[in-house]
Amino acid sequence: MHFYGTSSVNEKGHLTIGGVDTIDLAKDFGTPLYVYDIHLIRQRARGFKDTFERLGVSSQVAYASKAFSSIAMIQLIEQEGLSLDVVSGGELYTALKAGFNPEKIHFHGNNKSPEEIAMALDADIGCFVVDNFYEIELLSRICKEKAKQASILLRVTPGIEAHTHDYILTGQEDSKFGFDLQNGQAEEALQKTLDDQSFKVLGLHCHIGSQIFETTGFIMAAEKMIEKMADWKVKYHFSAEVLNLGGGFGIRYTKEDEPLAPAKYVEDIITEVKMLMDKHQLAMPEIWIEPGRSLTGDAGTTLYSVGSSKHVPEVRNYLAVDGGMSDNIRPALYNARYEAVIANRPDAKAETVVSIAGKCCESGDMLIWDLPISEHQPGDVLAVFCTGAYGYAMANNYNRIPRPAVVFVEDGRAELVIERESYEDLIKHDRSLSRFKEGSER
């Protein structure tokens, strides 16, 4: 098996994470269970942050909390001195409840509601990443009502779309996000916001994609943005204080994936950005990045209990676990691929090939196709690796399956940070038909 972070095998031959036996975790907290190796999260966070420091470049590394947001997770991010991206009132609320410094919160989203904007202004967050013309008007109006000024970045689409192994150059980007850099919309947005006392325009933002393994796409995007910055400096005397290059740094889900280390992404991008700034005789702005997946993805492992199996002669062996698309919708949503082992004996040789099925009433509820696996029996624990990003965050109650618990492990200790939902929780917001019938209250 491939060992992520602190994962290892103990004297019993069991998989351990953070020095904790995963079989004990499954017993103590039940399954399915998300286990986070928080030492690995800290290591990744420092990998990004320390590299900027070493290169002498002012920066903010903002965790894109949509990847996995919870009170404890945000507290961990605060401990590591990172900033935070939120994309909704709910994520903002979680951050504020976690005691996160509002000045280091950046608010994203292509359709922020008036209520969300008001909430963020009241909390005095650090920055709005403004996405469209409607938002410029809305934010301006609410700022005036509240006699506040908002620091903003303009989200632009530079015409670079990065995918895992390639990137696409488009004249005009067909995306729901941001102001197009090529067709003049970004410039119009700049004019509008520079003219408005409600705004302090800090600079530009772009986010070109996810699970990216090379720095070429980031550099191409930076180049497009820096060219415009040079142009706008002359035209509008606008000097960007901030250049935000987004997130999307790839991780290793399976042996086919070969990501760069955080330090390497940062080094390569910064070297190029510095050169481009020099070339255009611009002062180096603060560089912001927004890793989500690369901070939490491979730090998360899901533990399931092995249940039923089905053998279709000469076709396939199905092996079912006690979770599925309710706790990890990524395979069903975009054919995401994972690796897994029997946590009771991760070192044992794979003897068969099985396809891991969930327990939801959907044929598409499959977690892993064609997984080589060692000998196993019902009650064994299956550990699926790299489920730390967009796993819990996208978990749902399909089939009224309660969402699993989340534990953090570090230095031989485990701590429950999100409780498992109960059946009671599932009906908490349900109201009985009789209330409606009596006509007393809806």
What DSSP character marks residue 144? H
What DSSP string describes 206-248?
----SSB--SHHHHHHHHHHHHHHHHHHHHH----SEEE----
Shortest CA distance to 345 belongs to which of 6, 20, 3, 23? Answer: 23
User: Given the DSSP bridges, would you call strands 20-21 and 15-17 parallel, antiparallel or unpaired?
Assistant: antiparallel
Q: Is 248 annotated as a binding residue?
A: yes
Asked if 44 is part of the footprint of ligand PLP (rule: CB under 6 A), the reply reads no
Asked if 359 is part of the footprint of ligand PLP (rule: CB under 6 A), the reply reads no
Asked if 292 is part of the footprint of ligand PLP (rule: CB under 6 A), the reply reads yes
Q: Is 345 annotated as a binding residue?
A: no
Q: Rounded to the nearest whole angstrom, what is the least distance from the CB of residue 288 to ligand PLP in the complex?
A: 10
Active site residue 360: no
Q: Which residue is nearest to ligand PLP (CB)?
A: 292
Asked if 67 is part of the footprint of ligand PLP (rule: CB under 6 A), the reply reads yes
What DSSP string describes 247-279?
--B---SSTT--PPPHHHHHHHHHHHHHHHHHH
Distances (CA, A) of 22 to 105, 124, 363, 367, 411: 34, 42, 29, 20, 14
**Do residues 182 and 132 touch, judged by C-beta distance below 8 A?**
no
In Å, how far from its chain's centre is CA 349? Answer: 33
Asked if 208 is part of the footprint of ligand PLP (rule: CB under 6 A), the reply reads no
Asked if 294 is part of the footprint of ligand PLP (rule: CB under 6 A), the reply reads yes
Query: Both tokens of residue 218?
Result: 């980031």
Contacts to ligand PLP from residues 94-113, by CB under 6 A = 108
Residue 78 vs 85, nearer CB to ligand PLP: 85
Asked if 293 is part of the footprint of ligand PLP (rule: CB under 6 A), the reply reads yes
Asked if 65 is part of the footprint of ligand PLP (rule: CB under 6 A), the reply reads no
Asked if 346 is part of the footprint of ligand PLP (rule: CB under 6 A), the reply reads no
Active site residue: 127, 143, 360, 361, which one? 361
Q: Rounded to the nearest whole angstrom, what is the least distance from the CB of residue 162 to ligand PLP in the complex?
A: 10
Phi, psi values for residue 167, rounded to 5° = -140, 150
Query: Both tokens of residue 301?
Result: 């492992």
Annotated binding site for substrate: 293, 330, 334, 362, 390
Residues that bind ligand PLP (CB under 6 A): 64, 66-67, 85, 108, 207, 210, 246-249, 290-294, 389
Annotated binding-site positions: 248, 290-293, 330, 334, 362, 390
Annotated binding site for pyridoxal 5'-phosphate: 248, 290-293, 390
Active-site positions read: 361
